[in-house]
Amino acid sequence: MIENRNNRKIGAAILYTGFALLFFILFFRVVYIQATGTADGHELKNEALAKYMRTGVLEASRGTIYDTNGEVIAEDTTSFTIAAILDDSVTTNPEEPKHVVDYEKTASVLAKYIEMDEAEILERLKKDGDPFQVEFGSAGRGLSNSVKSKLEEENLPGITFIRQAKRFYPNGTFASHLIGFAQRIEKEDEEGNITYEMQGQMGIEKSYEKYLKGVDGKIKYTSDLWGYLLPEKEEMVLEPEDGDHMYLTIDSKIQTFVEDALSEVEAQYEPEKAFAIVAEAKTGKILAMSQRPTFHPGTREGLDTNWMNDLVEYSYEPGSTMKIFTLAAAIEEGTFNADATYQSGRYKIGSASVGDHNSGAGWGEITYAEGIQRSSNVAIANMLQQMTPGVFRQYLEDFHFGEKTGIELPSEASGSIVYNYPIEQITTAFGQGTTVNALQILQASTAIANGGKMMKPYIIDKIVDDTTGETIVNTEPDVVGEPISEETAKETLDVLESVVTAEHGTGKPYHIEGYDVAGKTGTAQIIGEDGSYLTGANNYLFSFIGMAPKDDPELIVYVGVSQPNLENESGSAPVSKIFNPVMRNSLQYLNVRPDENITSDTVKLADFEGEKTYKAREAYEKAGLDPVIIGTGNEIIKQVPEADGRLLQGEKAVLLTSENWTMPDVTGWAMRDVMKVAQAAGLKISYSGTGYVTTQNIKPDQPIEEGQKLIIELEQPGSAEEANKNADAESDQLKSDEE
């Protein structure tokens, strides 16, 4: 009994000693860790920070691209990506779940707001592998703030949103190959993390990436296990640096004239290619440029047809528009005599010959003035010999053919001068063999229109720093040569005017009532895939370059249509249906004084923002305008076009009031007028077809809100004759505003 008691005491003493020793070891360990902050060679503070320190990216906004008047062409907007959290560990309070708890209900509700079947959504929510969260592909990306708000009102547990920037092109198909597009590109950082970055992919968006891009910022904060900011913990923020803003020389109004004309010709004639470019004659400033086929920069629809900017990257044989510069060189050399005569028809060069475009028949013995008017190849061959081919070779260099213009756009083609043999010298003089790009023809034409001074074409007006508002790039007009004298330029314009006004002039279809036009037609052969010229009435590049008003040109318009589907029409038909309305409407929009007495029908808009709705309505009606008023509010909060803009009578103006916005009936409207409603109310447009609106997804008088998507379909009028008649009737209303 005594022995058992002693054994228990010894056991208790050993146990007590063991616990005491363990306590002192643990105590010493804790004190050591607290004192040194290390354990087993690891810095505990750093590891804790690594585990609970969160780093996020504050995305920089990409710079906005504006036209010359400050209207937005491309800008960043906010969009959202929807995600569903599936891991129940994020829920700390069962009464307020943070993860998806009802898969069927969640799938049913989401299917109302995103373009994905309920069954497919449910399949994603029940995805194998126990993922922390899932997303819904393209259907769940790019959601507007309006859709996000509606989903939030559904109170679906576990549904969260990731904010992202999205590049928005409010004008749709608008100088698309010039502007290009930007899209989100997946990138992997040094730590293997996947991030997304907005990058320009073509056009100005790509070539000016360093200005537009900006620099992303960062945010660091200490979080709990679930990633939430801990109380009394400060965030460390490195603010992003947004991209710089670009102002182009493009005028949206003139660009719209070009887009509409190209679309109508594309629909009627289905050409392989078509292009148009408008420039200030005295500066080289590009006011509009576009081409067909084209694409929508927001959706990239149509991009697979043609990635190339044809006005810059495509070199071709120009045809008879090159005769302008042969004529100018002969006048400058003093060898051109308009009243002298020659035998038209054919011109022999050794065993070869070149003929006039009427199969070499010619028109008998005619003057050189008539030869230019008829676009006679034989006249040009004689003129070349009179001044000698060597002299003209120098003029080709003086006009900068064979070298890039240096415009601020990527991949410009230089073209090539083919001038080694007598036959090549003659064909170059009338526009075959030697190749050019459209900008080279335009640049050389500025010397004719600008008193001998040749202006470099340019598209960037200025670049403005987002932070300081200072102009960091400013483009000024640049004289790149004086290949001819002022007197020669004037005489050349006089001869080119007769191409349009003479009874037998090839330029007669390009006569514009009220303005004297000087210009030259072109009909260039096209080389096929086998290296030989194509045959057939349609297989030509038909073109016209015109300058107006002739006595003091303000604008140069160059139009080309390649391989149109002609039916008993000449190649001038599709070209004139682009050139004529573009030149006429542009001159009148710019208030260029007409040569004849034409009444003015343009209106300069006052600033009505903040004014009472009834006062604005009265002012517009007094000016002969019937504005589209959106909403029933008693105050105007936005007007399109903006104050000081000019509105052509018959063109729609939009006034946005302070409340109760509803959708107007836009059926029968042109695309440019629908865009005004979208710009005023902040709608996002998706469309198909060309011409005028036939259907709209938001019905007339239905409530609308900012960020809502408007889907419209456009169709051409019932016949080409009706379309042209309507266009002529509309453009006849466009008059000069100043005497």
The neighbouring-strand residues paired with 21 are none
Q: Inform me whether the pLDDT recorded for 148 exceeds 70.
A: yes
Find out whether 663 and 704 touch, Cβ atoms under 8 Å.
yes
The interaxial angle of helices 103-110 and 118-125, nearest 10 deg, is 140
| Closest-CA residue to 442 (of 405, 393, 475) | 405
* Of 632 and 451, the one with more pLDDT: 451
Indicate the fold that domain 603-731 takes in CATH. Answer: Trypsin Inhibitor V; Chain A (3.30.10)
Instruction: Work out the average pLDDT over 588-594.
Output: 87
68-70-72-76 Cα dihedral, nearest 10 degrees: 120
Q: What six digits make up the tokens of 514? A: 């009220």
* Rounded-to-integer distance, Cα 616 and Cα 634, Å: 10
Q: How many CB atoms sit inside 10 A of residue 690's CB? A: 18
**pLDDT for residue 218:** 65
CA–CA distance, 350 with 359 (Å, rounded to integer): 19
The pLDDT assigned to 737 comes to: 33
* Other CB atoms within 10 A of residue 312 CB: 25
- 461, 65 contact by CB (below 8 A): no
User: With DSSP H G I counted as helix, E B as strand and the rest as coil, what are the percentages for the chain, rounded to 5?
Assistant: 35, 25, 40
Mind giving me the DSSP string for 46-89? HHHHHHHEEEEEEPPPPPPEE-TTS-EEEEEEEEEEEEEE--GG
For residue 143, what is the DSSP state? B
How high is the pLDDT of residue 292? 96
Element (H, E) at 206: helix 203-207
What are residue 464's DSSP bridge partners?
Answer: 245, 471
pLDDT band at 451 (very low <50, low <70, confident <90, very high): very high
Residue-level pLDDT at 517: 97
For residue 706, give both structure tokens.
């900012």
In 658-705, the DSSP E strands lie at 684-688, 692-696
The stretch 69-90 carries a mean pLDDT of 86
Residues 6+ apart with CB under 8 A from 733: 601, 648, 649, 650
Q: Specify the amino acid at residue 126.
A: K
User: Which segment of 125-129, 340-344, 507-511 scores lowest on mean pLDDT?
Assistant: 125-129
Closest CA to 256 of 236, 227, 276, 281: 276
- Model confidence over 221-275: pLDDT tens digits? 554 444 444 444 455 566 678 899 999 999 999 999 999 999 999 999 999 999 9
C-alpha distance from residue 424 to each of 339, 379, 433 (Å): 27, 16, 7
The rounded distance, in Å, linking the Cα atoms of 677 and 664 is 9
Is beta strand 341-343 parallel, antiparallel or unpaired with respect to 346-349? unpaired
252-589 is a CATH 3.40.710.10 domain: yes
Domain boundaries, given as residue ranges, for the chain: 2-54, 55-248, 252-589, 603-731
Residue 659's CB: how many other CB atoms inside 10 A?
10
Q: In angstroms, rounded to a whole number, what is the distance separating the alpha carbons of residues 309 and 313?
A: 6
Side chain identity, residue 619: A
What is the mean predicted confidence (pLDDT) over 475-495? 97
Reported confidence tier of residue 11, pLDDT bands at 50, 70, 90: low
Sign of the alpha-carbon torsion through 549, 519, 408, 679? positive
If 0-12 CB within 10 Å is exposed, 13-18 middle and 19+ buried, where does residue 700 land?
Answer: exposed
DSSP per-residue codes, 411-424: S----B---SSHHH
Active site residue 376: no
The span from the CA of 635 to the CA of 612, in Å, is 5
HSE-up of residue 233 (Cα within 13 Å, Cβ side): 16
Tens-place pLDDT, residues 655-702: 889 888 999 988 878 777 888 888 888 888 877 766 678 889 898 888
Q: Residues 177-190: pLDDT tens digits? A: 999 999 888 776 66
How far is the C-alpha of 592 from the C-alpha of 555, rounded, in Å?
10
Res 32: pLDDT: 56
CA separation for the pair 524, 92 (Å, rounded): 76
* Angstrom distance (rounded) from CA 240 to CA 216: 5
Looking at 263, 290, 315, 320, which residue is catalytic?
320
CA dihedral 662→665→669→672, nearest 10 degrees, is: 10
Mean pLDDT, the chain, as a whole number? Answer: 84
- The third-level CATH classification (topology) of the domain covering 55-248 is Penicillin-binding protein 2a (Domain 2) (3.90.1310)
Average pLDDT in the 633-638 region? 88
Nearest partner of 157 among 75, 114, 120, 102, judged by Cα:
102
pLDDT of residue 563: 96
C-alpha–C-alpha distance, residues 560 and 258, integer Å: 12
pLDDT exceeds 50 at position 49: no
pLDDT tens-place string over residues 266-307:
999 999 999 999 999 999 999 999 999 999 998 888 898 888
Q: Are 681 and 629 in contact (CB under 8 A)?
A: no
Using alpha carbons only, give the angle 536, 540, 545 rounded to the nearest 5 degrees. 150
pLDDT at 633 over 80: yes
Query: How many Å apart are CA 622 and CA 370, to the nearest integer?
Result: 51
Mean pLDDT computed over 352-379: 95
Over 70: is that where the pLDDT of 76 sits? yes
Asked if residue 347 has pLDDT above 80, the reply is yes
pLDDT at 313: 95
Phi, psi of 275 (to 5 degrees): -150, 160
Q: Which residue has the tokens 């008193």?
A: 451
Q: Which residue has the tokens 């470099």?
A: 456
Distance CA 671, CA 680 (A): 14
Question: What confidence score (pLDDT) does residue 600 get?
Answer: 45
Residue 467 neighbours by CB under 8 Å, 6+ apart: 241, 242
Please name the residues in contact with 616: beta carbons below 8 A apart, sequence gap of 6 or more: 608, 627, 636, 639, 655
Q: Check residue 557 and give its pLDDT.
A: 98
Q: Which of 718, 671, 737 is nearest to 252 (CA)?
A: 671
As a whole number of angstroms, the distance between CA 255 and CA 170 comes to: 14
pLDDT for position 130: 75
Sequence letter at residue 164: Q
Rounded Cα distance, 320 and 339, in Å: 21
